[in-house]
Amino acid sequence: MLDLARLRALHAVSVYGTVGAAAAALGYTPSAVSQQIAKLERETRTTLLERQGRGVRLTDEARQLADTAQQLLSIVERAEVLLEERRGVPSGRLAVGCFASAARGLMPQVLAELARRHPSLDARLSEVDPHISIDLVSRGVIDLAVAHDWDIAPMPAPAGVEQAVIGDDLCDVLVPAGHPLAAAESVRREDLTAERWITQPPGTVCHDWLMRTLRAAGSEPLIVHQAEENHTQVALVAAGLGVALVPRLGRGPLPPEVATVRLTPVPKRRLCALWRTGAARRPAITEAVRTLQELWPGVAAGV
């Protein structure tokens, strides 16, 4: 009989693409994941992973087995939901995926509150991009995603996934303290067309929003620096190397070399919680979403 833990390890590698990323998502070491897959290879007498450069590639047999594993994991999830629903108490493991600034500015309070209220609930956080986290929920790799979209670039939930709004995170334009716009009470998008921009890499929600917004104002944005972390963008602005549009959540105190300018209309991104429809009745999901919505106003007021 195939071992479910080993199938889970293979499924995670198929989703995340590498043993290291799969290990991080599962809360294991890369060595432990490799050992699980090696045992699965012996059990099935099949080669499942092949070396490809510095990474690995799933064989055709492995992909077929990973698809079967996803179906089995879905059945196990339904059984766990039924048991937890009968108990009526949030319990068991809850895998949460969240984007970086919310992982820093929101989730510590939420996870701490869940642990205080529900000692039987083992909530575990993974930091992932919003696009990726929604896909991971849909595939059953994580239980709950905290993601975001922008007012002009909504991100609809895929089939089989439900969502609830947590709240709106406002954004500001950050400029060097000596910048001509630093003392302005507010600026319009048309006032920023000639600026040198610091933003996240292409393909991220923030980068796509900036490109769409300035193009709508009749300008092709001049991107001079790209950085994943908001803190890095702030440091580049402080050095006088450009301007950036940075959300307030998880931003932290700004250095004196950086000024905040209000953009009119104010850009905002919407934070949402997403989960699979089949897990909607699970007390751990409903309690986690309730806690996110309950704590958000206090978090938003403090940023």
Burial code (b: 16+ CB inside 10 Å, e: under 16) for 193-229 equals eebebbbbeeebbbbbbbbebbeeeeeebebebbbee
Q: What is the pLDDT along the chain (303 residues), one digit of tens a residue?
A: 778 888 888 888 887 778 887 887 777 788 888 888 888 888 888 888 888 777 788 888 888 888 888 788 777 777 776 766 666 778 888 999 999 999 999 999 999 999 999 999 999 998 888 878 888 888 788 899 999 987 766 777 888 899 999 999 999 999 999 999 999 989 998 889 889 999 998 878 788 888 888 888 788 889 999 998 889 999 999 999 999 999 999 888 999 999 999 999 888 899 999 999 888 888 999 999 999 999 999 999 887
Please answer whether residues 165 and 289 qualify as being in contact, where contact means their C-beta atoms are separated by less than 8 angstroms: no
Is the pTM here over 0.85, yes or no? no
Show the domains of the chain with their CATH numbers.
1-87 (1.10.10.10), 92-303 (3.40.190.290)
SS3 (DSSP) at 127:
strand
Peptide bond into 180 cis (omega under 30): no
- Given the DSSP bridges, would you call strands 144-150 and 268-276 parallel, antiparallel or unpaired? antiparallel
